Amino acid sequence: MKLTNKDFLTLKDFSKDEILALIKFAKELKEKKKQGITGNHLQGKNIALIFEKPSTRTRCAFVVACNDEKAYPEYLGANDIQLGKKESIQDTARVLSRMFDGIEFRGFNQSDLETLAKYSDVPVWNGLTNEFHPTQILADMLTIYEHFNKLEGLNFAYIGDGRNNMANSLMIGCAKLGLNYINISPKELHPDNELINLCKSFANNSSIKISDNIEDIKGADIIYTDVWCSMGEEEKAKDRINILKPYQVNDELLLKTGKNTIIMHCLPAVKGNEITENVFENNADIIFNQAENRMHTIKAVMIATICNIDI
């Protein structure tokens, strides 16, 4: 399977087989790195890393992945270029794609990312927008596969702020890959109906459910949570904490699953809000494996979309 020159903007654009191929390829790259084997797939390539929003995992994952494969990464922060300010996104895309072999964008608006991709002649990758975070989902699904040795048929519960970029992207990923997905959140934080219906159309042998009842956590193989206030929403913190307190991932919630459930978190975590410190630490191996897997899956995406190779 070839994904050469394909943008990576949202998992909506990828088939089940394409997503699984990326996960399998990332797993192979991870196993080689553990053996001290890195590659030269990207030798001589230059990678632009645009960051409107700060980052730990995304930035480090792209930089290390580039170095492992002999590429040169150039960090372009919010004050380093004129993106959408003195120079249009269209013109910035046309300039950068003359100089670089791939462009990562981590910012606010999905529409800006899509404009960047439309006018770029090289692959553009979504490092996070307000709407979607697809590279995180690849890392999450690799982590789940490593733990359960399967994806299809597992019961996946997302709990917390149900309409943020992680909830959106996880619903798409679960629908595409055959995990039964439930979003448990207050009604005012439920995901968009259009996206729900789209994900239901993706789900052939799995289910998509939206609930505000924490009792529906029963049977979950995986519980996933995220911060209650996304980047840029800090002024809403007090209200969010008040309405989301009943949706905290804690020992009491875990008892409701009736299973040996694993806990996942994309980080950074606000321990004491969306998750207790005790539950976080008891699942730290899983959570930090997620973080590491950002590097391996991002490496897979870059190689697959830049290089003319089968994955």
Q: 203-220, pLDDT tens digit by residue? A: 988 999 999 999 999 999
Considering the candidates 112, 265, 266, 290, report the single residue annotated as catalytic: 266
Superfamily of domain 136-290: Aspartate/ornithine carbamoyltransferase (3.40.50.1370)
Q: How far apart are CA 79 and CA 242, in angstroms?
A: 35
Q: What pLDDT does residue 174 have?
A: 98
Domain ranges in the chain? 11-133+294-306, 136-290
- Find the mean pLDDT for residues 130-159: 98
Residue 76 tokens read as: 């372009």
Nearest to 93 by CA among 59, 122, 56, 120: 120
Considering the candidates 57, 59, 265, 294, report the single residue annotated as catalytic: 294
pLDDT band at 237 (very low <50, low <70, confident <90, very high): confident
Q: Which of 21-30, 76-85, 134-143, 147-156 has the weakest average pLDDT?
A: 76-85
Q: Given the DSSP bridges, would you call strands 46-51 and 102-106 parallel, antiparallel or unpaired?
A: parallel
For residue 181, what are the β-bridge partners? 156, 208
Q: What pLDDT does residue 232 have?
A: 67
Q: What pLDDT does residue 84 have?
A: 72
Is 294 assigned a catalytic role?
A: yes
Query: Where in 132-288 does DSSP place strands (E)?
Result: 155-159, 180-184, 208-211, 222-225, 262-265
Q: How far apart are CA 197 and CA 299, in angstroms?
A: 32
**Are 86 and 57 within 8 A, CB to CB?**
no
Residue 252 has pLDDT above 90, yes or no: yes
Do 136-290 and 11-133+294-306 fall under one CATH topology? yes
pLDDT in tens, 123-135: 999 999 999 999 9
- Find the mean pLDDT for residues 9-31: 98
Considering the candidates 221, 226, 265, 290, report the single residue annotated as catalytic: 226
Considering the candidates 41, 57, 133, 240, report the single residue annotated as catalytic: 133
Mean pLDDT of the chain: 96
Considering the candidates 136, 140, 221, 265, report the single residue annotated as catalytic: 136
**Are 49 and 104 within 8 A, CB to CB?**
yes
**Are 159 and 249 within 8 A, CB to CB?**
yes
Is 101 assigned a catalytic role?
A: no
**Which of the listed CATH numbers 3.40.50.1370, 3.30.465.10, 3.40.1030.10, 3.40.50.620 matches domain 11-133+294-306?**
3.40.50.1370
Residue 76 has pLDDT above 90, yes or no: yes
Is 136 assigned a catalytic role?
A: yes
Q: How far apart are CA 147 and CA 140, in angstroms?
A: 11
Q: What pLDDT does residue 231 have?
A: 67
Is 251 assigned a catalytic role?
A: no
Return the percentage of the chain with pLDDT > 70, whole number: 99
Is 266 assigned a catalytic role?
A: yes
Count how many residues are written for the chain.
311
Q: Which of 24-33, 74-83, 86-95, 121-130 has the weakest average pLDDT?
A: 74-83
Is 190 assigned a catalytic role?
A: no
